[in-house]
Amino acid sequence: MAAADFPEPVRAILLDIEGTTTPIDFVYGTLFPFARARIGDFVQRHRDRADVREDIQALRVEYALEDSQSPGLPAWRGGSANAEVESAVNYALWLMERDRKSTPLKSLQGKIWEGGYLSAELRGQLYPDVAPAFRRWRAQGRIIAIFSSGSVLAQKLLFAHSAAGDLASFISAYFDTTTGPKQEAQSYGRIAAALGFPPAEMLFLSDVVAELDAARRAGLHTALCLRSGAGAPTNVPHSVIRTFNEVFP
């Protein structure tokens, strides 16, 4: 497959995870069910941990902003620690059913997945071209960073415990929704500033056009990563790739 034509110098490559480095089926078929089955027990057992308490409180704040008429929205019951924990878990499950990109939910999921990775119940799945691309890009002197709606902890675990081995040493920085929404240009400006590169020296790869549009508005170069056999959407102002082998081979 021919290499995509990207301008030089691109000194930093920013990557989405789901559908870009990692099969969507692994996220929805393995990671999400793993967290869903364990979240109640995890929050109950670790509710006195400071970081878990922070997640519970953040969920309560987020819940207060929900439309009370939202279908199936569970009640939030206060009055006791047990009621608070139960309410947080029920709300987290409700968010998961709707695939909401809730920062405290993602934080809890990452903590649950940590146990799975450390026990080897989970092993991060990557497309076969990812590890060779990481080695190639770093040998070329390019920086690799990750921007995902999953928590920074979840991102680090996936790459450190991947089926292709520990790839964490290739990644210079991780960003999640605490940086900002993935469909807002300001988020990419913050990432560029954090990495210390002008946006024009960065390339963002994602399978979501709205994210690429936001990155492009911030001045980054962009490429739509199509892993399936589907045809590319028409009238998108982004390069199109189907494998990382096309990116700076």
- Distance between CA atoms of 48 and 229, rounded to whole angstroms? 48
Place of tokens 């969920």: 59
Average pLDDT over the chain, rounded to an integer: 94
Q: 27-118 architecture in CATH? A: Orthogonal Bundle (1.10)
The C-alpha angle 208, 214, 219, rounded to 5 degrees, equals: 125
- What percentage of residues in the chain have a pLDDT greater than 70? 97
Tell me the mean pLDDT in the region 110-139.
Answer: 97
Q: Average pLDDT of 129-141?
A: 98
**Residue type for position 99:** D
- Choose among 228, 230, 233, 232: nearest CA to 243: 228
Higher pLDDT, 213 or 227: 213
- For residues 50 and 143, what is the distance between their CA atoms, to the nearest angstrom? 33
Band of pLDDT at residue 3, cut at 50, 70 and 90:
low
Q: What is the pLDDT of residues 236-247, one digit of tens each?
A: 889 999 999 999
Give pLDDT tens digits for 155-165: 999 999 999 99
Q: Which CATH class is domain 12-22+125-246?
A: alpha beta
Does the pLDDT at position 225 exceed 80? yes
* Amino acid identity for residue 230 in this structure: A
What's the pLDDT tens digit per position in 165-193? 999 999 999 999 999 999 999 999 999 99
Query: Has residue 9 got a pLDDT over 60?
Result: yes
Each domain of the chain, given as residue ranges in start order, spans 12-22+125-246, 27-118
pLDDT at 2 over 60: no
pLDDT tens digits, one per residue of 70-94: 999 999 987 788 999 999 999 999 9
pLDDT at residue 17, rounded to an integer: 98
In Å, what is the CA distance from 198 to each residue of 16, 44, 143, 204, 214? 19, 45, 13, 13, 16
Averaged pLDDT for residues 19-36:
96
Rounded CA separation 92/98 (Å):
10
pLDDT digits (tens, 9 = 90+) for 47-62: 999 999 999 999 999 9
Q: Is the pLDDT of residue 1 over 60?
A: no
